[in-house]
Every structure is written in structure tokens, then in C-alpha cells.
């Protein structure tokens, strides 16, 4: 189950290998079992979903939603018929990078699931394309839909002191995030949600407000190309305690 290259609208590298990397990242940090309930926010064209078909059993559950309809349609056509416990939803939300055809904002979006449903919620390269008011709402919704003790696995561009120093020294390549705001920065002022980076203190405050607990942070390669890690963006693990 590999989509045609022309349909892959997000992420780089080998589709299968990147999916396996995401899966192993989730398993390593959460310890979920094959009967777990997983929610993939920004499920795209099924990169993580395809990888998880080799792990979740018939008692497990995988739900994904995305605002790019062609990705959802591909997953529904190629994954769900073989794995009926893998369900995908299209949500019509505005985003400067992916969807300008609606005015519906992510800051008011209620996840289409009951409370305390999931063992883990994943967001790979999602928060890195969202502005603060939208992230605040998503963190609140993640807290709501997670079971107690459940985890959130998410990636960001985080502006800690090392990242800021490397940006100043020109060591981060195109990821300069020069359009600064209070607590965050844009890579492109004209397409704000193309890439958004967050000051660590500002992000930590938003996480605290959501009642989630940060249990782990692993810096990625974006801010230090010589860093030995498989992750390009920074990885954060949150938990509902």
C-alpha cells in the first residue's frame, strides 16, 4: 500500500521507511499494545497508518483526520477495505498552506470523537504549520480525547537557545524563521502556516494551560544538521496524567 509519488503532498524521504520511523517513535515513547486506540491528527495520505497496519490487531483502532481530501480519499480506498478498524475523516479547516477554500478556523474545531477514547494522539508535522490560537485549541481537544495516562506524540520547530544561536550564525539553512512575533516566528510572513517555530517558554506555557504534562523533548536536525537523530523536527511527548 504505497500511494503514487505524485499524490504524496507532505513529508520527504521514502514513504515506507518514514512511516516505520514514525511508528517506532510512537511505540518507543508510549509502549502502546496492539489493541490500542490511536488518533493520527493530520493523517495525510496514510504514512503512519500504513505502518501501523503491521502492529495494531483487530481489537486495536486507528482513526485519522486531515484537511486535504485527496489524502483521506486514498486512505479510505486503499487501507480501510483491508483494515476496517482504520477509519479516516475529512475536515474542512482553513490553512494557509493546504486549504484556502474555507473560513472555518482550527481554533474553534471540536475533534469528532467522544472524550477519553484514545491511548495515543499523534501529530507529525502538524503543529509546525499552526498558529498559537489554533494550537491552544488542539491541545485542549487532545487532552479531552485522551484516556487518562495516554500520550501525545508531536513534532514542532522549537526555538530554544541552541536553535536561536544556530539561526543567528546561519547554520539552519532555509529555516531562518526571521519573522518574529511574541513567542513564535514565521518562516514566510506571506504564508504564515507554511512553517511556524515556537519559543520553548511560550510553548511550555501553552502545554501547561492544556493540563497536559511534557514528559520528553528530543531536538531534531533542523536546528543542528550535525545532530545524530532520525527526526528532522523537534519531538515532544505529552501525557494526560
For residue 86, the cross-strand partners are: 62
Q: What is the DSSP letter of 53?
A: T
Q: How far is CA 169 from CA 187, 198, 200, 224, in A?
A: 16, 19, 19, 11
| pTM attached to this predicted model | 0.92
- pLDDT of 95 reads 66
Give the distance, in angstroms, between the CA of residue 241 and the centroid of all CA atoms in the same chain. Answer: 21
Residue-level pLDDT, tens digit, the chain, 241 residues: 676 665 555 555 688 899 999 999 999 999 999 999 999 999 999 999 999 999 999 999 999 999 999 999 999 999 999 999 999 999 988 766 665 666 678 999 999 999 999 999 999 999 999 999 999 999 999 999 999 999 999 999 999 999 999 999 999 999 999 999 999 999 998 887 789 999 999 999 999 999 999 999 999 999 999 999 999 999 999 999 9
Burial 148-186 (b: 16+ CB within 10 A, else e): eebbbbbbbbbbbeebbebbeeeebeebebeeeeeebbb
Fold for the domain defined by 5-239: Rossmann fold (3.40.50)
Q: How many CA atoms lie within 13 A of 210 on its CB side?
A: 28
Which own/partner pairs from 95-98 qualify as long-range (CB within 8 Å, at least 24 positions apart)?
95/67, 95/129, 95/130, 95/193, 96/191, 96/192, 96/193, 96/194, 97/129, 97/191, 97/193, 97/194, 98/9, 98/67, 98/68, 98/129
Interior angle at CA 65, CA 61 and CA 71, nearest 5? 110
- pLDDT of 99 reads 56
Amino acid at each position: 500500500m504505497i500511494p503514487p509519488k505524485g499524490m504524496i503532498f507532505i513529508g520527504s524521504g521514502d514513504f515506507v521507511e518514514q512511516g516505520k520511523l514514525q511508528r517506532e517513535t510512537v511505540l518507543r515513547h508510549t509502549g502502546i499494545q496492539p489493541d490500542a486506540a490511536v488518533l493520527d491528527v493530520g493523517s495525510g495520505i496514510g504514512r503512519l497508518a500504513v505502518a501501523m497496519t503491521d502492529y495494531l490487531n483487530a481489537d486495536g483502532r486507528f482513526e485519522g483526520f486531515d484537511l486535504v481530501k485527496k489524502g483521506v480519499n486514498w486512505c479510505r480506498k486503499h487501507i480501510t477495505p483491508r483494515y476496517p478498524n482504520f477509519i479516516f475523516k475529512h475536515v474542512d479547516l482553513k490553512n494557509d498552506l493546504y486549504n484556502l477554500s474555507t473560513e472555518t478556523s482550527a481554533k474553534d474545531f471540536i475533534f469528532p470523537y467522544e472524550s477519553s477514547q484514545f491511548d495515543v494522539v499523534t501529530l507529525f508535522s502538524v503543529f509546525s504549520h499552526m498558529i498559537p490560537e489554533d494550537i491552544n485549541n488542539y491541545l485542549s481537544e487532545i487532552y479531552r480525547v485522551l484516556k487518562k495516562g495516554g500520550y501525545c506524540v508531536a513534532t514542532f520547530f522549537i526555538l530554544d537557545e541552541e536553535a536561536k544561536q544556530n539561526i543567528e550564525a546561519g547554520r539552519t539553512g532555509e529555516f531562518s524563521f526571521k519573522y518574529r512575533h511574541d513567542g513564535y516566528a514565521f518562516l514566510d510572513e506571506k504564508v504564515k502556516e507554511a512553517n511556524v517555530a515556537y519559543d520553548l517558554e511560550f510553548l511550555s506555557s501553552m502545554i501547561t494551560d492544556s493540563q497536559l504534562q511534557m514528559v520528553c523533548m528530543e531536538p531534531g536536525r533542523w536546528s543542528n544538521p550535525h545532530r545524530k537523530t532520525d527526526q528532522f523536527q523537534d519531538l515532544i511527548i505529552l501525557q494526560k496524567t
